[in-house]
Amino acid sequence: MRDGINLALLGIPAVALITEEFWPQGDFVAQSLGMPDIPRVQLPHPVAGTGEARMGEIAEQVVDAIIKQFMPVKAS
């Protein structure tokens, strides 16, 4: 979360990737650092240490959600 916020503060488009286990902590950090609306995508937990194949599966599951966060919102 902090990395995503730091990038956003530098003007670099960022999406924070947060596992479901740490989602509430991510909300707290985003609020406390003044960026409650930073784009983020929830990942299953755990990711780290699950192996290259599993990480690839997770990436395939969330890639569309990540890309969507970078798309401008269309007015209706």
Span 4-48, pLDDT tens digits: 999 999 999 999 999 999 999 999 999 999 999 999 999 999 999
Q: Which two tokens stand for residue 73?
A: 């919102």
* CA distance readout (Å), 16 to 24, 27, 66: 13, 11, 9
Count of C-beta atoms within a 10 Å radius of residue 53: 8
Q: Which two tokens mark 2?
A: 């902090």
What is this structure's pTM? 0.84
Asked if the model's pLDDT at residue 75 lies above 70, the reply is: no
Q: What pLDDT is attached to residue 56?
A: 96
